[in-house]
Each structure stands twice: as C-alpha cells, then as structure tokens.
Structure 1
Amino acid sequence: MSDRVSPGENQKRATAIRLRSGLWLPIFDQLADPRVVSRLAADAEAAGWDGVFVWDHLRWRAPVQQVADPWITLAAIATATERIRFGPMVTPLARRRPTKLARETATLDLLGAGRLTLGVGLGSDRFGEEWSATGEELDDRRRGQMLDESLEILGAAWSGEPVHHRGPHYTVDEITFLPRPIQRPGVPVWAAGFPGNAEPMRRAARHDGFFPVNLEHHDQLAEIVTTITGLRQGRTTDFDIVVGLAADIDPAPYVKAGATWWLTDFDPETVSLDQVRGVLRDGPVDIEGKQVP
C-alpha cells in the first residue's frame, strides 16, 4: 500500500495521489525461475516502477507446465531491491496455516526492510484444479470464514503480544510471534474479490486495500470506490484501490474513478520474458487521481 501517514497528512493528500505502477507476474514457465524474476525486479526498480507482485498457485491448466513458489521468489525480490514494494497477489489463505504465514510474513518484511504487502483472497479451483487435486476446502463460504479467521490471527501475531485464539478452524495457544514485522501495526493487507460481491469489499474495508479482479469497465470501479468509502467512514488511514489492466489499456479513467495502484495484467498462458521486459522498459505511468478516504 502507500506509505502510512498521520490523519492530518492523510487529509492533505485526500484529493490527489500519484498512481503507483507495479509489475504483476504469473511466475509460470519462463518466469518460474526466481533468479529471472529477481533480475526483472531490480530492473523495474531502476526504471522507476513502484512494485513487483507475483501470483500464488500450485499449478495452472495447460499449456502452463512450470510453476514457481511465490515465497521463495519474493525472498529473491526482497534481496535484489531496495525501494519497491512486493508481495503475493493474491495468496488464498484457506490453504495456508496462519501461524506459519505469520512467521513467513514477518521474516519477509524484515528481509525487505518493511516493503511487503500481503494480497489475500478465496482462491479458485477453476484454472488448475489445485484445490480438488490436493484435498483442500472447496466451499467458498467456508474458505471465506477461514480467510477471515486467518487474518484475525495474523493481526494478533504481528502485534508482538501473546496470541490466544480458539476458533472453528484454527487454534493458537499463547504463542508470541517475534520478531515483529518492521511495518506498524503490521503488514498491509489488500483483499481481492470480484466486482459486485459485497463480502470481499467489507473484508477489504477492514484492512488496507481492495483489488477488484476481472474489472470490465472503469464505471464498475467508481461504484466500488463509493461503496468502500461508505464502509470506511470514520477511518483515517490510507487505503489503496488496486486495478489489474493490460499495458495497452489507458489507466486514466480508472485513476479518475479512484485507483491508486495499476498492476500489469499479463495472460498467464502466453506471457513471455520478452513481453514482460518490453512492458518494463516502457516504464510506469505518471497520472494523478483522487485517494479513497
């Protein structure tokens, strides 16, 4: 997310913010080597990009054959860069143990000197049957409950205080998770969801950003921003609206609607290293728009 500021500073910035640009990479096939992705991240930083984010999948449908681990790849990005933000976009928390993720996120935030953003969502079995093939939870409602419970545990773990949690899916019995992440009060969380679904927006409003996936038009985004603004009444912390758009789509209408981040949307089944390098060389966009309160 954007750097956190005091309520007074946030008020000054509420009417205008520069759109931030991030590479959003399906780490498949030619991008399945963390050494390749870390070099791309270093080049992106030198070219003025603001972030590099990676997909989190176990497998994908044909013709994709090779799939990298996002957390190892993110560690490579963290050590190859000094300024850009990075993170998984998005991690389906229902297939991850929240206590393990608490350790991983804190350690990765330390490794990157406070630059991690955690993208979260329900996940889907649609594109690779990675849930059904591994015996994971298939019910969307139950996965949503697991996601929210995991976020509760992560928030408690990042506080540095002992965590006492007994829920329907997870138990944490008086464990203190130290060291804490560098960022306070914890790692920023962007929640993903499909436009028109109310629960992902409510979830996002409790955290630091919303990533509406599969946007069809900037008018959809304007409606989302209106809804999010209503849900966040009384909150003064920064909030990000993140859009994934192909490089040939003009982001200006989305910025006018309230977008604060643009992520490059590549086709996961055809993306190539040369294609990513071309977009990287074209550079980030430089547009100002409004910020969601």
Structure 2
Amino acid sequence: MRHGVYLPPFGELADPRVLADIAAEAESAGFDGVFVWDHVARADEPDLAVGDCWIALAAIAAATSRVLFGPRVTPLSRRRPQDVARETVALDLLSGGRLVLGVGLGSDATGEFSRLGEVDGGRERAALLDESLAVITALWSGETVHHHGPAYEVDGLRFLPTPVRQPRIPIWVAAQSVRRAPLRRAARYDGLCPEASPDRLADMLAVVAEYRGDLDGFDVAVAATEDRDAYERAGATWWLRSLPMGVSRAEALCAVRRGP
C-alpha cells in the first residue's frame, strides 16, 4: 500500500505557499502522494478562507520532486474540459509526469453549486462528467479532435503538447456506493476514490472487477483516519491520511513530519 496526505485548503491552508510547504515536508517524511480538496466556496461557513486547488497544485508541483499529487476530487461539471485539458498537461509537464486527476460529481450539500448558478442536479452533473472526460482524454492524445456532444464542441482542433505520462494522465473516479453507473465510470479509467466502509469498498471493487475483468493496475485511494488494515484487506492500494477541515499550518506540519 502507498501512503499519501489529503489536505483541506481552508483557513491557514488556503494559502498555496502553506500547502507547498506541507507537501515538501510530506515528501521528505516519506509519503508517496499529496492530494488536495477542490472547492470554491463553503456556503455553510461564510467566514472560512478557501484556497484555489489548482493554483495550490502548481505550487506543490514546484515544491516537490517525487510525490504524486492531484485534486481529490474536482467536479468536472463546473469546469470547461478544454481548460482542464490544458491545465492538467501543464501540471504534468511542470512535475515531470506526477499528476493524478481525481474527478467526481461533487456535492451541493452546502449549496456550492446551486448558490453559484451551477448545474446542481445529480443526473445532469453525471452527464457533464462523462462528456468532459471524453473530451479531455481526446485532447490529451495530441490528435485532431472532432467532438459534437450535447454540452461540448471540439471542431477539428489539436492540443499540443501531450502529457509526459503515457498512455495518459491517470484518472481516479469518485464513488460512494455499489450503484452501477459510478463504478462503471471508474472501471473505464485508472482508479477509484471511494467514500465507503471497508465492507462496502470490497463490494464496490467486486463490481469494478466485473466491468474490467480484473483489478490489475487499478488504484484505490482511501482518505480516512482509521481502519487502515481493514481497507487494505478490502482492496485499497493508497491510504491517504485525511487532515481535518480546520487544521492549522502547525498541526498539519506536525502530522506529516511523523511520516506514513
């Protein structure tokens, strides 16, 4: 099992310089990865400082040399896929091929979508997620892309440069249950970001294996604070030490300096 840290970019950690410092300490302490929440607002906590995940990822890429890193997870329904394609390739180049793209529907539990006029229905966000992934992976190829979908259009464009990481930047997909659609989506790509108990995770991976044929080379990145051994037995390949939302800079540094 590989080990990472999962950082909430809020409060003192809203500053990308702070996240970069924590990531560098995590790398020095022996962690294999650094992953960041991706939010633009916390409507239920109006006085909370919120950092930009993508600027933070650039700072982390520049401050480290070995760890994998990425968003866990970015809701693609609120992003333009062509922008994500450009940004992810830039981060991949900046880091020498260390980016992992974590994606999902996101949640409107705090009004982060609806209060900004974003699409907030689950089915609509799922459709945008699937179409965005199709566009992003096509643009990564470096080939001329013709995509004429219900939401997005690419009319004979070619995006260069291509990623360092081949055959593509790894994509990890979020899922919370044994519902078929999210797990079928995850099975098409490179990993799963589950929000589930160990027993439920084992059931989820059985469904993924059914779609893929096996789980060879498939990453399973659990972000939690307990039951590491149980998650490993269930099939997790990554254990992300999840730091609490209100963690201070000093507390975060202390946590990562203890090592995996």
Q: For the superposition of Structure 1 and Structure 2, which TM-score range results when normalised by the shorter chain?
A: over 0.9
Is 2:197 the counterpart of 1:221?
no
Corresponding position of 1:257: 234
AA paired with 2:48?
Q
| TM, length-normalised to structure 1 | 0.85
What displacement does 1:151 show?
0.3
Corresponding position of 2:223: 244
Is 2:115 the counterpart of 1:133?
yes
Is 2:81 the counterpart of 1:98?
yes
What pairs up with 1:1-293 in 2 under 5 angstroms? Answer: 19-60=1-42, 61-62=44-45, 65-127=48-110, 129-213=111-195, 215=196, 217-233=197-213, 238-246=217-225, 249-268=226-245, 270-284=246-260
Task: Note the residue ranges of structure 1 that are not aligned, 5 or more in a row.
Answer: 1-18, 285-293
User: What's the RMSD between the two structures over aligned residues?
Assistant: 1.4
- Any conservation in 2 of the 1:86–1:115 contact (CA below 8 Å)? yes
- 1:33-71 C-alpha deviation (Å, 9 max, x unpaired): 111110111111111000111111111121651111111
Please list every run of at least 4 consecutive aligned residues from structure 1 whose deviation after the TM superposition is greater than 4 angstroms. none
- 1:122-143 C-alpha deviation (Å, 9 max, x unpaired): 011112x121121110111011
How far apart are the structure 2 equivalents of 1:64 and 1:104? 29
AA paired with 1:119?
G
Which segment is superposed worse, 22-31 or 54-63? Answer: 54-63
SS, match of residue 160 in structure 1 = coil
SS, match of residue 200 in structure 2 = helix
Task: Note the residue ranges of structure 2 that are not aligned, 5 or more in a row.
Answer: none
Identify, as 1 or 2, the structure richer in helix.
Answer: 2
- Any conservation in 2 of the 1:158–1:185 contact (CA below 8 Å)? no
Aligned residue pair count = 259
SS, match of residue 62 in structure 1 = coil
What displacement does 1:196 show?
2.8
What displacement does 1:236 show?
7.7
- Any conservation in 2 of the 1:192–1:210 contact (CA below 8 Å)? yes
Which segment is superposed worse, 92-101 or 53-62? Answer: 53-62
- 1:161-194 C-alpha deviation (Å, 9 max, x unpaired): 0111000000011111100110112110000011
How far apart are the structure 1 equivalents of 2:106 and 2:134? 18
| TM, length-normalised to structure 2 | 0.96
- Any conservation in 1 of the 2:178–2:203 contact (CA below 8 Å)? no
How far apart are the structure 1 equivalents of 2:244 and 2:41? 15
- Any conservation in 1 of the 2:170–2:189 contact (CA below 8 Å)? yes
SS, match of residue 22 in structure 2 = helix
Which segment is superposed worse, 196-205 or 42-51? Answer: 196-205
How far apart are the structure 2 equivalents of 1:165 and 1:271? 43
What displacement does 1:203 show?
0.4
AA paired with 1:282?
R
- Any conservation in 1 of the 2:194–2:222 contact (CA below 8 Å)? yes
SS, match of residue 169 in structure 1 = coil
How far apart are the structure 2 equivalents of 1:194 and 1:225? 12
How far apart are the structure 2 equivalents of 1:109 and 1:191? 18
